C-alpha cells in the first residue's frame, strides 16, 4: 500500500500509538521492552509515532525522546497538549499560556526542537476554540511545531478551528465498533484536507481477538470502567467475534488485520494508530496494509458491527462530557 499524507508528510498507512507503553492498560513496559518495540517499529517502516503529555504524566514523551531522538529525521512525531494531571486529578486546560508552557515542556522531554504535529488533546470548553488554536498557530509561527491537530472534536468545532489556522488532522476513536466520526467528522476532514487519525482502531484489543476474559484486567486498566467491557455487555459483545474470525479466514488474515484493513478502506485520509507493547503484535498490525477488501466485504463488516449490535456506550457519562464529538441518538 502506498503512503498516506499527514500534515504534508508522507507516512506509512499505519502508525504507532505509544500510550500503552506507559499508561492505560496496566503497568508500563520495561525500558528494554519499550526500546525494542520503538526501534523495531522504526526498522519495520513505521513513520508516525504518536504520544501525549498525558501518557504516563510525561513518561511517554520522555521515553520517545530517549529512544528515538537519535533517529529524529526518520519519522514524523506527533504529541498532544491540553490534558494534564495536577495533584492526582485529570485536568483539561486549553488556555493559551498553558499550551505555550507545556509545548516547551514537551520539546524538552522529546529531545527535539520541533514537533511535527501537535494536537489539542481535548477542547477546554471554558476557552473558545479560536483562542486555543490561535496559541498553537503562534507556536507554528515560532517554529516550535509544524502543524496543528485536534482530538475528539465535532465537525462544527473543527470548522471553527480551521478558520483560524489550517487543521492538519483530527484524532478520534474509530473502529468497527466505534463509528461516531461517520456522523460528520470523517467527511469534514475529507472536505478540509485533514487526516482522520484513528486511535483504538482495534477496540482496545477486542477486535484483535486478544481479550477473552475481562476479569483478568488489573485495577489500573482503563477498560475496567468502560461500559462495553462491563461483564454483561462484554458477554454479548464476544458473540460478534465469531463472524469476524470467519471473514478473516476467508481473507487469509487475522481478525485484527481485517479490522484495520476495513478502516484503511474508509478513505485515503484515514490513518490508524494501533498501540502495542509486543513486536509480534506490531508486525501483525502492519501486515494489515496489504489486506485487500472489496465493497461487499466492507459493507458486511460494517453490518456485523452496526451500532444496534454492540452493547454498551463508548465512554461513561463523565468521560463523554469531556469530549466534543457527535453522538448517535440513544437507541
Q: How far is CA 64 from CA 27, 50, 55, 199, in A?
A: 17, 9, 11, 18
Sign of CA dihedral 298, 11, 56, 211: positive
Whole-number Å distance between alpha carbons of 10 and 47:
8
Count Cβ atoms below 10 Å from residue 242 Cβ, excluding itself.
Answer: 11
Q: Is 253 helix (H, G, I), strand (E, B) or coil?
A: coil
Whole-number Å distance between alpha carbons of 273 and 275:
6
Q: Is 310 helix (H, G, I), strand (E, B) or coil?
A: coil
Q: Which of 25, 55, 174, 315 is catalytic?
A: 55
Is there a catalytic annotation at residue 118? no
Q: How far is CA 22 from CA 27, 45, 234, 287, 308, in A?
A: 7, 22, 25, 24, 34
3-state helix, strand, coil in the chain (%, to 5): 45, 15, 40
- Give the helix/strand (H/E) hosting 326: none
Whole-number Å distance between alpha carbons of 126 and 44:
42
What is the DSSP secondary-structure string of 103-145? HHHHHHHHT-S-BSEEEESS--TTS-HHHHHHHHHHHHHTTSB
Residues labelled catalytic: 55
Amino acid at each position: 500500500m502506498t503512503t498516506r499524507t499527514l500534515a504534508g508528510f508522507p507516512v506509512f498507512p499505519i502508525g504507532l500509538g505509544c500510550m500503552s507503553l506507559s499508561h492505560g492498560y496496566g503497568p508500563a513496559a520495561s525500558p528494554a521492552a519499550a526500546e525494542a518495540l520503538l526501534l523495531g517499529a522504526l526498522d519495520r517502516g513505521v513513520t508516525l509515532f504518536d504520544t501525549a503529555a498525558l501518557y504516563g504524566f510525561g513518561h511517554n514523551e520522555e521515553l520517545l525522546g530517549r529512544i528515538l531522538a537519535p533517529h529524529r529525521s526518520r519519522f514524523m512525531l506527533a504529541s498532544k497538549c491540553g490534558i494534564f494531571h495536577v495533584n492526582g486529578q485529570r485536568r483539561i486546560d486549553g488556555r493559551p499560556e498553558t499550551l505555550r508552557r507545556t509545548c516547551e515542556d514537551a520539546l524538552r522531554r522529546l529531545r527535539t526542537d520541533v514537533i511535527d504535529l501537535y494536537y489539542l488533546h481535548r477542547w477546554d470548553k471554558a476557552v473558545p476554540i479560536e483562542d486555543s488554536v490561535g496559541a498553537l498557530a503562534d507556536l507554528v509561527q515560532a517554529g516550535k511545531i509544524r502543524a496543528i491537530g485536534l482530538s475528539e472534536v465535532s465537525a462544527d468545532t473543527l470548522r471553527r478551528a480551521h478558520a483560524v489556522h489550517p487543521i492538519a488532522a483530527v484524532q478520534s476513536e474509530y473502529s468497527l465498533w466505534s463509528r461516531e466520526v461517520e456522523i460528520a467528522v470523517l467527511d469534514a476532514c475529507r472536505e478540509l484536507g485533514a487526516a482522520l487519525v484513528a486511535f483504538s482502531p482495534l477496540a482496545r484489543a477486542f477486535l484483535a481477538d486478544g481479550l477473552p476474559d475481562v476479569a483478568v484486567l488489573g485495577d489500573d486498566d482503563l477498560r475496567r470502567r468502560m461500559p462495553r467491557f462491563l461483564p454483561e455487555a462484554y458477554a454479548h459483545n464476544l458473540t460478534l467475534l465469531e463472524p469476524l474470525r470467519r471473514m478473516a479466514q476467508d481473507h487469509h488474515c487475522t481478525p485484527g488485520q481485517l479490522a484495520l484493513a476495513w478502516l484503511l478502506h474508509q478513505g485515503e485520509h484515514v490513518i490508524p494508530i494501533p498501540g502495542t507493547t509486543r513486536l509480534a503484535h506490531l508486525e501483525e498490525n502492519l501486515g494489515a496494509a496489504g489486506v485487500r477488501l472489496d465493497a461487499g466485504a466492507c459493507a458486511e463488516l460494517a453490518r456485523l458491527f452496526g451500532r444496534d449490535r454492540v452493547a454498551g456506550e463508548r465512554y461513561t457519562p463523565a468521560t463523554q462530557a469531556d469530549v466534543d464529538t457527535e453522538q448517535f441518538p440513544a437507541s
